[in-house]
Every structure is written in structure tokens, then in C-alpha cells.
Amino acid sequence: MTKLTCFKTYDIRGRLGVDLDEAIAGRIGRGFARALGARRVVLGRDCRASSQALAQAVARALMAEGAEVLDLGLSGTEEMYFATSHFAADGGICVTASHNPMDYNGMKMVRAGSAPLDAATGLDTIRALAEADDFGPETVGQLRDISAEARKAYVARVLSFLDMTALKPLKILVNAGNGAAGPSFDAIAAELTAKGAPLTFIRMHHTPDGRFPNGIPNPLLPENQPETAAAVTASGADFGVAWDGDFDRCFFFDHEGSFIAGEYVVGLLAEVFLAKYPGAKIIHDPRVIWNTLDVVAHAGGEAVQSRTGHAFIKQAMRDHDAIYGGEMSAHHYFRDFCHCDSGMIPWVLIAELVSRKGALRDLVCARRDAFPSSGEINFTLDDPQAALARVRAKFVPLAQAIDETDGLGCDLGLWRFNLRSSNTEPVVRLNVEARGDASLVAQGVAHLRDLLTGATT
């Protein structure tokens, strides 16, 4: 039995030719069908050079288990999520490495109802079956191309979130990063045009290209933001949107090219939904919370905190029947989109919000002044446990409130921090926020950096 190194907490990711290849993808595909008893599986893929061959290997494997494969072709992860529920499939797989390096690929997978997979709900069983590689005789399933039908239904669902009558003339710059977003965006834009929406789009790095000639699409990295920011200002756009490789995350820039941190977008979208669904519940992660709590309270909603990570957020969405959930990492989840995350629904809603209330910069500036934050700062440490112990010893006795939903959250009155170990990388992640005083954020970051690195005790 071969131990597979590509299985992570919620998905499959690994280096091509080392952790993942077509043979391994096939074993995972058979394990997926067998573990879930899947007779119908949705399959999509991103535009990486290796994705088509890996997807074909998965399709053959699923059919070898007798499953019907509903093929989306080139598509975003969220299109797989939507199609799994829309076509009442037993599960879905998208072959994608999202924003990982060029020599990586992977798979994002869901079970029936687009519910996430983890160790407790089938991922461990899939892994055991794939590692044993003892599947026996093949059965003959079938492959069905549903790409056109699925995209039409997906576009209709995305636009169902929009009040078209509220739209005013806007110019929007979109940067697909040569990832999978381009064709899906074009389908949405075409339908908007057909319905008479007064929106003009400037497309940037729009054609899918698995070589990523303009760099791996990961707009969260500060070094990747200036190019989009400059294009926004040069084009005179009202705001800009950029996506990662499989476009389940989207990122915003105001008309002056300033990047909008994810926690403020969560607040904006919470406000949008609470205007439409008074009293609704909003899910948020525990890293940066004060702006979201303030927005939700003033809008008459109920904020519910969840652990960081899509599996936890999606379960909380279901448990609390929340209308919307957001993470500062730019994952945005929608009850009426299978409780899943989407990178297309947010920009449609922001277009409506800007049409109703004015410039994105103006909407964000007041929130940023009221609740400044540091952004997520990563520390790679020789002894993370000792570093965390130093932080606990210093701040727990001083804290007005302690929150251990995910890592350590300390409320110090006028400022707070959240410190947590990454689920996917060997780093410690720090977020600091304050009430109306950016200098407190800077002071908090400096003090915590010294404690974490051992410069002070």
C-alpha cells in the first residue's frame, strides 16, 4: 500500500510528478465514487496545463466505478458546487490548484448537496481506498457534457442575487489573471447586457492560459496588487475586481486603486443582505471581527462566529440558516448558492451597492477609520509553541475577554488580536484591530512581533 501525500485537511493538493499524477488522480476518482456510493458526479477543471489530463483520468476512474460523469469542462470551483446541487449529483470534483505554484495541482471535492468533505464525512475513506488501490473489475459508466446547460443555470443563479433596477451606469475593471474566470464572467456579462444593465467592463489578463504569463493569479499578495490598481485608475473605472485561479475568491479595488481588505468587504456584503433580509444571521470568522459586529448590529442582524475554514463556515451556515457568511480571506458564502462560496456573486452585489450608495472608497473609508486593522501577518518560527506561550503569559491576564474559537483572541478594550496556527502551512498568523486609533494597531503588532520572535519576553 502506497501512502499518498496529496491529501490535505479538506482537499487534494500536491506537486506534479511527486505527490500527484494521472495514476494517483485515477485512484482518488475510484475511491471517491466508492466511498460516497456515487452514481452521478459533476466534474470540472481549471486552465492549468495539467488539469485536462488529470480530469480525464478522474473521469475514466469514476466511469470505471459505474458512475455517470457530468462534465463541466473549463470552469470555476463554484460552478462545480452549484452544478452538484442543481443536477442532484452524489458529489462533485474540480481539478484545480487555485493560486498554488506552477508545479502543483489538486482537487476540490464535495458530497451530495454540495456539502464539504472532511475526515469525518468521507475524505479518510477515499484516502484509504486510493492508497490500497484494490478496486477490482471495472464497470462501464458514461460521460455527459453538460457545460452549456450548467453555465446557463449558473449565470441565472448568480444574477438572481441582483436587483437590476438599482443599477446605475458604472465602469468596472476585471482582472481574471489568465485563470478560469474569463469565460464564466463573459457569460454573466452577456446576460447583463441582454437585460439592459448599464455596466461597462474593461477586461485585463482575461484569456485563460495555464502558463500564467502574468504570474500566478493570487490578488491577496501585496506584490500582485499594483498592476490591477494602476489599471483601475488609468481606465477611470468606478472599481476593480480581481480573481484567483479558480475564482472562488474575489478582491476589490476602489476608483483610486486602493485595495479593499477582506474584512471590510464582509461588512459591506452583510449590509447588503440585511437590507434585503432584516434580522437575518451573518456568519463571520474570528480573526478580525469588530467592523462586522458593528455593521450587523446597526443593521439589525445577528452575527454568528465560526472557526476559520470553508468546512466550518459552510456547516455554520447550515446550522444557523444564515443568509451570508464571510471570511477576511475573501471567501464569501451564500445560503441561496448551496451554502457555498462564490467569487462572482460579490462583485455583482458590490455593483448594486455602489449604484445605490455611491463610491466604494467612500463606503469603506469610514469603516476603516472606525476599525483599523493590520491585515494578516505571517510568522515562520523555530518554536511556535514557545512563542504562543509567551503571548499567552503576557496578554491573557490583561484581556477583558478571551476567545479561543480559533487560536487565541484577546480583547484588550481599545484593541484586540487573534493569533492562530495555519491549517495548511507551518506558520503562525496574526491579526490586530483597534477602535478608531490606527496607532494602537501598529503598537500591538510591534509588541506581538517582539514576543513571537523572542526579542522580548
As a whole number of angstroms, the distance between CA 216 and CA 256 comes to 24
Active site residues: 98
Q: Give the closest residue to 257 by CA, choosing from 219, 290, 207.
A: 219
Please name the helix (run of DSSP H) or strand (run of DSSP E) that holds residue 320, with its range, or none. Answer: helix 310-320
Q: What is the secondary structure of 344-406 as a DSSP string?
A: SHHHHHHHHHHHHH--HHHHHHHHHHHS-B---EEE--S-HHHHHHHHHHHHGGG-SEEE-SS
As a whole number of angstroms, the distance between CA 420 and CA 413 comes to 20
Q: Give the closest residue to 211 by CA, choosing from 44, 46, 45, 49.
A: 49
| Contact assessment for residue 214 and residue 178, using Cβ atoms and an 8 Å cutoff | yes
Phi, psi (5° rounding) for residue 254?
-80, 180
- Look up residue 213 and give its amino acid: P
Phi, psi (5° rounding) for residue 227?
-65, -45
Cell triple for residue 43? 466534474
The pairing of strands 340-341 and 332-334 is antiparallel
Phi, psi (5° rounding) for residue 201?
-120, 140
As a whole number of angstroms, the distance between CA 385 and CA 388 comes to 5
- Look up residue 70 and give its amino acid: L
| Contact assessment for residue 245 and residue 179, using Cβ atoms and an 8 Å cutoff | yes
- Look up residue 271 and give its amino acid: E
As a whole number of angstroms, the distance between CA 41 and CA 39 comes to 7
